[in-house]
Structure 1
Amino acid sequence: MIEEILNKVLKFEGANESEKFARQFVSLYGIELYKDGLDLILTKAKQGGLSFEVKIVKGWDTNQGCYLTDQRKIYNKFLKTFTHSLDHKIIIRNFAVNVLAHEMAHCLEVESGLVLNEDFRKAIGFDMKNRQPESIVLAGEIQRLMVDALKSYPSYQFISELFARYFELLSTSRDVAQNGAYTTMQIMEFFVNTSKWIREVFNPKIRSKIDQEIAAYTANLIANNEFKTEKKFADNAKSFYKKVDGSGQKSWSRNVNSNANWQESWNKHQELEDKK
């Protein structure tokens, strides 16, 4: 089903690599928090409201991907009025799973209609302020993706970029990339408030838009571990920026105490906000 849906909305500038594209897309179901988002992407593609374009990277081109949206009017015969619909186009120049995860997250932000500069900003702020994960490799990826890389962006894009880069970070985990040095669980345990906001606010917001046939199909795919690909078929994720050296010390500690303390701080903050 997934490859059939994607093939209808895929356009390649060079050689057709639809099988590889579908394989990368399916591998992202290894991210628990991304299921609803991926299901919505498939739903929009099935409805004809989303397309993908894979371009050849030119030597001078440093743009790894981009997301475009266009609003169109549709006449609703039942309501006898015009309604607006969004058409999404995701352009991939660096054909890698982390780029795909990043650009699709931008699309999902728009589809959700949520303002990230409110509770999401507070949640990720609590998670990142004066904290470091115990895994040195994960700490390096967070610094590279979510701190250093933002220096080249205008400040008004920071929150949107952090949202997309959180899903990109998850896509570099061992659950997706297979050769990753950390798991999605380690990432989610460090970003405890961010993960909670996505699970309890963002995903419920977009769930009503999802085709239930697609949701049931992918739930079965996950239950049977069919999102996992053989290592010989794994496509290396090339990052937007220089990849961090993975030779550092690895730690699989869970930061339970640290996360509990920050969860308590977040809960107190939420209580104060609710009383306003």
Structure 2
Amino acid sequence: MLGLLAVWYLSTTGFGWIHPARFPQPEEVWGALTFIQSEGYGNGKLHQHVLHSLKLVAMGFAVAVSIGVPLGLLMGYSRRAEALLNPAFLLLRPIPPLAWIPLAIVWLGLGDGSKILVIFVAAFVPSVINSYTGVRNIDTPVMEAAHMLGVKGWRMVSEVLVPGSLPMIFTGLRLSLQASWTTLVAAELIGALFGLGSILNQASQDIYPAMILVAMAFVGICGASTTWLLGLLESRAMPWRNGRVAA
């Protein structure tokens, strides 16, 4: 990281190899950062934009995984459910999440609801696929033993399906979270008054590359931070993967 900062400084401020109009100098980015936090930019200050984007991602992601994970477990366990749901899922799966933006706007307008819907679509698919795959990867003898012992219903879900597919479920959660952040920025480029995507949109219209870099940096920071928090949850849920034993 320090090496990249040094190259950036030398290329722009130090030797002037890159014109500031094409790529801003570090001091310009710092100035943009202090400006948006103290004076505000694009209808709000930096923390307001960040909190708004976090709220949208949290809502879309939470709804997606709360529906997608159980649906994936059901499809993986029940042949009948798979036969019923898989054709529709295969039809919808190739459609890019951003293709839903026009319909989301028609249905829900330019407010937060349309953006949450697009985030939901982006996060929904990975959570379903990986939960489904996790159940299918459970060893056959384990499933047979559970059936022989009369394990059914909620016990089957809580004692067999979820523990057996947990690694794949968390893989799906990570992919869903990454898709949520990627889609959020694109969704907020259209008709958003708050959020990191709205900063990018406003800064591009104002030809303000330093502010564009500020918004991009905080998208990366927020995405990395939420992924790290999800990793902590994963390590608590599966301590054996880190060589630890649950207390």
Whether the TM-score (by the shorter chain) exceeds 0.5 is no
Structure with a larger share of its residues in strand: 1
TM-score by length of 1: 0.25
